[in-house]
Structure 1
Amino acid sequence: MGIEGKRKEGDRMELARTAMKRKDLLLITAVALGILLNPLNTTMISVALARLQEDFQLTFGEVSWLISTYYLASAIGQPLMGKWSDLYGRKRIFMFGLLLVTAASCLAPLSPSFGWLIGFRIIQAFGSSALFPAGMGIIRGQITSGQAQALGIVSIFSSTSAAFGPSIGGFLLHYGDWPLIFLCNFPFIIGSFLLAWKLFPRDPKPEGGAMAMDWTGVALFSATIFMWLLFFLSLASGFSLWQFAVGAALTYGLYRYELRRKQPFINVAFLRDNRNVTLIYVQFILTNIAFYSIMFGIPSYLQQVQGMDPQQTGLVMLSIAGFSVVVTPLVGRWIERSGSKRPLLVGTAAVVAGSLLMLLIGDRASALTIFLVLSVLGIANGFNNLGMQTSLYAFVAKEETGIASGLFMTSRFIGTILSSSLLAALFGDTITSGHLHSMAWVCAALGLLMLALTARMPQGSSATD
């Protein structure tokens, strides 16, 4: 082959590589647009809680069920849909999830009662729960070059979309009403659906079937999560001994049953044999209790006590999202150099500092003061989200990534369930600055526990170890 021929061949190869990179980018976009629906819909609703209380004549404790049930369904749906994507095909389950979100987003604005609205949110939660495990499986199967970078991009969409939720929700409520929070899903759904339909590979013939599922484990896990949710929500009116006893018994029964299963719904043997991983899950639960207590509690406080409208609330809450996005790439570079322990120490210390700074927020606090306090918590969120993910994979072999990732997301959902229970117990029928300060003390205590767990991590842990 002559020089001219070699040049043409090189040009063809370069064009092929460019086309492949473009296809990979579009595939990542399809997955990212899908998986942001779950965290985005979680926190967008936080700005609308005060409006929903007024519309349906509810207390804060009652309206908090809108949050609790969403994450109850997500905690169950995430591992369930992940298993289904392995059995029936990732493209099928991804598209099925998008269809469920579409149906729920269409019907929720037409809800004749609060009970119907909760039902449609549960459908939305199950649908959006299918998108993360199926989408991550497709990326790992299709993108062989730069896979870590691809997974990192998707993780940013997953983590930071939650922080932007209150700001987006605030603008939507300013120009409309709470139904817009559901209708705004359609640009993301349509974009993800069209790209996924065109770019996702065809699924192989399904292997196994419904009998391959550990349905007893699913039922036990669902009952366990529901009972603990019921127990924590009831703490506002007193300690229920029977709920605590039933929750503990179900937890033990789930552990003993799943330990004997060859293909368990929740791999408790994996948790038992990986102490560092288990403690990371515990820390991630604590992280999300603090983060989502703030994300759900502050918007209602700003509207009911500070008298802000939804747009002003959204602008103030933008401090959390903005600072979280700004620090994330900086944290990533720090983690690459020195591991995740030091950044996590900074992040958990920022949770303590930001929570204590909330004590400065009173009935007459300025918007600037609130913005600056929340900025500290936004910085903490950026450090903790990326730090927790990279510290997890430092202790997980590549062949265990799927198990570890699924349980990591379940930990997030458990944390958010507990956050709504905490808010229901602290805020009750009304919200005051005193209630906000009680939440601040609890979040500071959680931050100290997170700091202690981070301190016990091996030095220099990173995803590349």
Structure 2
Amino acid sequence: MLLGAMLNPINSSIIAVSLIPIGMAFGAPPAETTWLVSALYLATAVGQPLFGKLVDAFGPRPLYLIGSAMVGVAGVMGMFAPSLGVLIAARVLLGFGTCAGYPASMHLIRRENRRTGQDSPQVVLTLLALSSQTVMAIGPTLGGLLMALGGWRATFAINVPLAVACLVIGSRRLPRREASATRPAVHIDVVGILAFAAVVVPLMIFLIDIRPDRWYLPVIAGLAAVGFGIRELRAAEPFIDLRVLAGNPPLVLTYLRALLTATVSYGLLYGFTQWLEDGRQLAPTPAGLALLPLSGMAIVISLITGRRQAVRAKLMVGAIAQLIACAVMIMLGGGTPYWLLLVVTAVAGVSQGLTGLANQNAVYYQADPRRIASSAGLMRTFVYLGSMVASAAQGAFLKPRADSASMHELATFMIIFAALFLILSITDRSLRRIGADNCPAPAAQPESRSSTTNEGNN
């Protein structure tokens, strides 16, 4: 579970320190190499709820193994890619392949909850949050080390042994789906999936590089959103049950918080890393090592606080840490001592460790148990929508280069999102019940289209 869940966040951030070397290798400008980041985001934004839906329908084992195989193939493609186009295709395949691990893990945890009648230990959710979100901060550091050992192709090659390990362990340990003669037929809403992609893809392409001549992209996304809403409300087995979401405001607020905090986290991860190499003039390896306190602090904080739910408190402290980190970024310059850079990433690590765990636990207790994989996948879609907002901000503020003045403007933008995240965490009273000691364990409920389960308030 942990190994499969970590594939997506590691690959989403490992590319951060290798964009410039890849551009030099293929003679490609930054406007083209940025598609290595965006391609994975686009594939993941669509693939996470899709794989989640398939996991809910067919169980975790087959989707986990299929996704792991896709990751291995993508790693081989990246190792031998003769052009930037092939490398981008490998990142698309990598994005889809890494979508299976996290929804499969959430589904398996809930499956054990139903089988045993006991809630999963909080440490299990803590470790899953570490592997599915917090390790994202390790990506740049790992990428810098791999580049020092084998160049940028090593950042793709690392996926081959990871995929093999997932296939071997997954085939041996993941439980098979129980046979049942009375199991209802599975219906996949293909039209709904395509309509959802028609909403997400134009919107994210627009956010990648906001320009006046691309005004038609948000229009297409808006029209597709209307069609998607009509389709899902009429479908007998919708891809995303909008009625369930409408009847579960706490879950919707959790998705919005995931978007806000991801905007700040990815803005810092990529924007700050670009400034380290451009404005601070650090080589890829020391730039990656400068982010090591982020991952280290995130892991320590998650392990220390993981045994208590306290979702609301974690979100508020995490938002405050984001505000502090962004405020310090405004004071940095080309001559800033290296140790102060480590302070910034350490403070950001506090937020990373708290918010990832809190948002995951909120979804675990707020979502319909029989839709837990698709609900978890949809949360990851909102995370990647936030990452695209961050990407758009970086494109707007860090052009033509990531100097100190540009980085200060980006930090100011991030402060706005961190403040909104803090306000949304303070005002959401439903979070108090999740952190209460007498909060009941999530229980299985009858499957129904009209279900509006909100376990966090039961």
Q: Same fold (TM over 0.5)?
A: yes
Q: Which has the larger radius of gyration?
A: 1
Matched residue, 2:305? 331
Alpha-carbon distance between aligned partners in 1 of 2:324 and 2:433, rounded to the nearest angstrom? 24
Closer/same/farther in 2, CA of residues 241 and 190 from structure 1, 3 Å limit: closer
Alpha-carbon distance between aligned partners in 2 of 1:183 and 1:429, rounded to the nearest angstrom? 31
For structure 2, list consecutive stretches of 5 or more residues without a partner in the other structure. Answer: 441-458
Q: Supply the RMSD in Å over aligned alpha carbons.
A: 2.3
More helix by share: 1
Alpha-carbon distance between aligned partners in 1 of 2:314 and 2:105, rounded to the nearest angstrom? 28
1:171-230 Cα offsets, whole Å, 9 max, x none, are 111222111011122332232222222222334569788x82111111111111111112
- Mapped pair 1:84 → 2:54: yes
Q: CA deviation at 1:60?
A: 2.9
Alpha-carbon distance between aligned partners in 2 of 1:85 and 1:402, rounded to the nearest angstrom? 6
Counterpart mapping for 1:216-365 below 5 A: 216-235=191-210, 237-238=211-212, 240-333=214-307, 335-336=308-309, 339-365=310-336
**Preserved contact between residue 73 and residue 160 of structure 2 (Cα < 8 Å):** no
- Mapped pair 1:120 → 2:90: yes
Matched residue, 1:445? 416
- Mapped pair 1:147 → 2:117: no
**Preserved contact between residue 56 and residue 373 of structure 2 (Cα < 8 Å):** no
> Which deviates more, 451-460 or 84-93?
84-93
Alpha-carbon distance between aligned partners in 1 of 2:77 and 2:84, rounded to the nearest angstrom? 13
Alpha-carbon distance between aligned partners in 2 of 1:393 and 1:101, rounded to the nearest angstrom? 26
Alpha-carbon distance between aligned partners in 2 of 1:268 and 1:57, rounded to the nearest angstrom? 46
- Mapped pair 1:462 → 2:434: yes
Q: CA deviation at 1:342?
A: 2.3
Alpha-carbon distance between aligned partners in 2 of 1:95 and 1:390, rounded to the nearest angstrom? 25
1:129-174 Cα offsets, whole Å, 9 max, x none, are 1222233333443574662443332222112221111111111112
- Among 387, 390, 397, which residue is 1:426 paired with? 397
Matched residue, 1:67? 37
Closer/same/farther in 2, CA of residues 433 and 355 from structure 1, 3 Å limit: same
Closer/same/farther in 2, CA of residues 356 and 37 from structure 1, 3 Å limit: same
- Among 206, 213, 229, which residue is 2:188 paired with? 213
Letter in 1 for 2:154: L
For structure 1, list consecutive stretches of 5 or more residues without a partner in the other structure. Answer: 1-30
Letter in 1 for 2:44: S
Q: Please state whether the residue corresponding to 2:433 is helix, strand or coil.
A: coil
Closer/same/farther in 2, CA of residues 203 and 311 from structure 1, 3 Å limit: same
Between Structure 1 and Structure 2, how many residues are aligned? 430
Closer/same/farther in 2, CA of residues 187 and 387 from structure 1, 3 Å limit: same
Letter in 2 for 1:357: V
- Among 37, 44, 49, which residue is 2:19 paired with? 49
Q: CA deviation at 1:390?
A: 2.7
- Mapped pair 1:381 → 2:355: no
Matched residue, 2:130? 156
**Preserved contact between residue 61 and residue 425 of structure 1 (Cα < 8 Å):** no
**Preserved contact between residue 50 and residue 304 of structure 1 (Cα < 8 Å):** no
Q: CA deviation at 1:432?
A: 1.3
Matched residue, 1:102? 72
Alpha-carbon distance between aligned partners in 2 of 1:189 and 1:151, rounded to the nearest angstrom? 23
> Which deviates more, 184-193 or 115-124?
184-193
Alpha-carbon distance between aligned partners in 2 of 1:110 and 1:310, rounded to the nearest angstrom? 22
Q: CA deviation at 1:119?
A: 0.5
Letter in 2 for 1:258: E
Alpha-carbon distance between aligned partners in 1 of 2:52 and 2:369, rounded to the nearest angstrom? 17
TM-score, with length taken from structure 1: 0.86
Q: CA deviation at 1:57?
A: 2.8
Q: CA deviation at 1:79?
A: 1.8
> Which deviates more, 139-148 or 261-270?
139-148
- Mapped pair 1:129 → 2:99: yes
- Mapped pair 1:198 → 2:172: yes
Q: CA deviation at 1:101?
A: 0.6
Matched residue, 2:63? 93
Alpha-carbon distance between aligned partners in 2 of 1:194 and 1:403, rounded to the nearest angstrom? 25
Matched residue, 2:7? 37
Closer/same/farther in 2, CA of residues 416 and 205 from structure 1, 3 Å limit: farther
Alpha-carbon distance between aligned partners in 1 of 2:112 and 2:357, rounded to the nearest angstrom? 24
Letter in 1 for 2:245: L
Q: CA deviation at 1:292?
A: 0.9
Matched residue, 2:148? 174
Alpha-carbon distance between aligned partners in 2 of 1:292 and 1:228, rounded to the nearest angstrom? 18
Closer/same/farther in 2, CA of residues 396 and 88 from structure 1, 3 Å limit: closer
Alpha-carbon distance between aligned partners in 1 of 2:101 and 2:244, rounded to the nearest angstrom? 24
**Preserved contact between residue 106 and residue 373 of structure 2 (Cα < 8 Å):** no
Q: CA deviation at 1:403?
A: 4.3
Alpha-carbon distance between aligned partners in 1 of 2:277 and 2:422, rounded to the nearest angstrom? 32
Alpha-carbon distance between aligned partners in 1 of 2:233 and 2:157, rounded to the nearest angstrom? 43
Q: Percent identity?
A: 27
Letter in 2 for 1:433: S
TM-score, with length taken from structure 2: 0.88
Letter in 1 for 2:23: Q
Q: Please state whether the residue corresponding to 1:462 is helix, strand or coil.
A: helix
Letter in 2 for 1:181: T
Q: CA deviation at 1:368?
A: 1.0
- Among 380, 383, 407, which residue is 1:409 paired with? 380
1:279-334 Cα offsets, whole Å, 9 max, x none, are 1111110111110111122222212222212221121110111111111133334x
> Which deviates more, 199-208 or 109-118?
199-208
Matched residue, 1:9? none
**Preserved contact between residue 70 and residue 122 of structure 1 (Cα < 8 Å):** yes
